[in-house]
């Protein structure tokens, strides 16, 4: 069966991915147009250099095509792509941390000597994060979750909730302020951990 461009838009992610694995370039093009802009928005929240964020996302999508035959994606494609972007962003930020903090070097021995402390603190920060999230008002929490977990833009959230984009922005600012306020004792550790959550 020959599909036209409109047909591809109607296909689910899993159907497109199956066609993609069968070397159908148009299915890949549809996945690219469906996910690249959202992936770039997500990466740009943490990487302020637009060219670096674009390069990171382009590499991710390029690798999706190159490794299409060997990749096994058991979860849904959206989760796979955003986890991959998140991991790439974290790797990128880890390289930038010494320069950002103004340290001459980060000694590997000091990181290896306290692994149990690190993981204990990580678990504690995650618990504090979950508690802080529960303290948000239901609407602020809903907007925050749609933005950070479903990777929707403010305009997409506004349409979904039938609210103005400005109202969504205000909810997000209030939600982030609330989270920062309740987690201030754990910064900057909280910043790195929250990248894993988002």
Q: Answer yes or no: are the C-beta atoms of 22 and 50 closer than 8 Å.
A: no
Q: Does 35 score more than 70 pLDDT?
A: yes
Question: What is the CATH classification number for the domain harbouring 165?
Answer: 1.10.10.10
Return the minimum-mean-pLDDT range out of 9-23, 97-111, 136-150.
97-111
Structure-model confidence comparison of residues 60 and 98, the more confident one: 60
Report the pLDDT value the prediction gives residue 125, as an integer from 0 to 100.
67
CA nearest neighbour of 198 among 161, 156, 148 = 148
Out of 99, 132, 151, a domain closes at 99
Q: Does 87 score more than 70 pLDDT?
A: yes
Number of domains in the chain: 2
Out of 99, 122, 143, a domain closes at 99
Return the minimum-mean-pLDDT range out of 55-64, 170-179, 188-197.
188-197
Question: What is the CATH classification number for the domain harbouring 27?
Answer: 1.10.1740.10
Domain limits for position 144: 108-197
Within this chain, do residues 119 and 77 fall inside the same structural domain, yes or no? no
Return the minimum-mean-pLDDT range out of 6-10, 81-85, 108-112, 170-174.
108-112
Distances (CA, A) of 131 to 11, 148, 179, 190: 39, 17, 9, 13
Q: What whole-number percentage of the chain has pLDDT above 70?
A: 75
Residues in the chain, overall count: 198
Within this chain, do residues 112 and 42 fall inside the same structural domain, yes or no? no
pLDDT category of residue 120 using cuts at 50, 70 and 90? very low
Report the pLDDT value the prediction gives residue 161, as an integer from 0 to 100.
92
Chain-centroid distance, C-alpha 170? 21
Q: Does 119 score more than 50 pLDDT?
A: no
pLDDT category of residue 8 using cuts at 50, 70 and 90? confident
Within this chain, do residues 61 and 124 fall inside the same structural domain, yes or no? no
Q: Mean pLDDT over all residues of the chain?
A: 77
pLDDT digits (tens, 9 = 90+) for 145-182: 888 778 788 888 999 999 888 888 888 888 877 877 77
Within this chain, do residues 39 and 62 fall inside the same structural domain, yes or no? yes
Residue 188 dihedral angles phi and psi, to the nearest 5°: -85, -5
Return the minimum-mean-pLDDT range out of 57-66, 91-100, 116-125.
116-125
- The number of C-alpha atoms within 13 Å of 87 and in the hemisphere containing its C-beta is 8
Within this chain, do residues 84 and 162 fall inside the same structural domain, yes or no? no
Report the pLDDT value the prediction gives residue 196, as an integer from 0 to 100.
45
Report the pLDDT value the prediction gives residue 162, as an integer from 0 to 100.
92
Out of 99, 122, 142, a domain closes at 99
Chain-centroid distance, C-alpha 193? 13
Q: Answer yes or no: are the C-beta atoms of 56 and 85 closer than 8 Å.
A: yes
Report the pLDDT value the prediction gives residue 99, as an integer from 0 to 100.
45
């Amino acid at each position: 069966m020959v599909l036209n461009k409109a047909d591809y838009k109607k296909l689910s992610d899993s159907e497109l991915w199956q066609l993609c694995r069968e070397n159908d370039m148009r299915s890949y093009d549809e996945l690219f147009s469906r996910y690249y802009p959202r992936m770039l928005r997500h990466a740009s929240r943490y990487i302020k250099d637009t060219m670096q964020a674009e390069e990171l996302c382009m590499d991710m999508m390029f690798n999706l095509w190159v490794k299409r035959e060997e990749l096994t994606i058991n979860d849904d494609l959206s989760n796979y792509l955003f986890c991959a972007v998140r991991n790439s962003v974290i790797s990128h930020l880890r390289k930038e941390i010494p320069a950002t903090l103004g340290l001459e070097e980060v000694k590997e021995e000091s990181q290896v000597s306290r692994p149990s402390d690190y993981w204990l603190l990580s678990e504690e920060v995650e618990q504090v994060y979950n508690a802080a999230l529960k303290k948000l008002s239901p609407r602020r929490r809903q907007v925050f979750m749609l933005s950070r977990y479903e990777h929707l833009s403010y305009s997409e959230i506004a349409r979904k909730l039938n609210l103005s984009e400005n109202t969504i922005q205000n909810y997000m600012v209030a939600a982030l302020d609330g989270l920062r306020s309740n987690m201030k004792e754990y910064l900057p550790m909280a910043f790195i951990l929250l990248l894993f959550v988002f």
